[in-house]
Amino acid sequence: GNSVTQMEGPVTLSEEAFLTINCTYTATGYPSLFWYVQYPGEGLQLLLKATKADDKGSNKGFEATYRKETTSFHLEKGSVQVSDSAVYFCARGAGGSNYKLTFGKGTLLTVNP
């Protein structure tokens, strides 16, 4: 079946450090891939997405590239801020439907000043 595996963390970084959160997915069909972010006490916000191989999604300094050959969609940011502290979720659509998402377990990121 469909699954998503992401590094669970927690990840603790200093401000301005480089961030990578790894995410791999099962290669069933040609799913769209997503990164969502969840701040304390809130729902999920879409951070970025990519709909086909080699697409790069980007937003607010975050980037992720859809790599079909390695079935990966790693999240990166060159310089994190304290305000980036949150839980990050990698997700895939279900082939023909992006309304049935499969999520990774989430990665808690804490950025210290």
Partner 1 sequence: KAGVTQTPRYLIKTRGQQVTLSCSPISGHRSVSWYQQTPGQGLQFLFEYFSETQRNKGNFPGRFSGRQFSNSRSEMNVSTLELGDSALYLCATAPGQGSDTQYFGPGTRLTVL
* Host H or E run for residue 63: strand 62-65
Stretch that binds partner 1, among 18-26, 62-70, 74-82, 95-103 (CB under 8 A): 95-103
| Number of residues written out for the chain | 113
Stretch that binds partner 1, among 15-23, 63-71, 77-85, 94-102 (CB under 8 A): 94-102
CA-wise closest residue to 36 among 24, 23, 49: 49
Residue with tokens 């701040």: 39
Q: What radius of gyration, in Å, describes the C-alpha atoms of the chain?
A: 13
Interaction residues for partner 1, span 49-68 (CB under 8 A): 49, 51
Q: Does 106 bind partner 1 (CB under 8 A)?
A: yes
List of residues contacting partner 1 (CB under 8 A): 32, 34, 36, 42-46, 49, 51, 89, 91, 93-94, 97-106
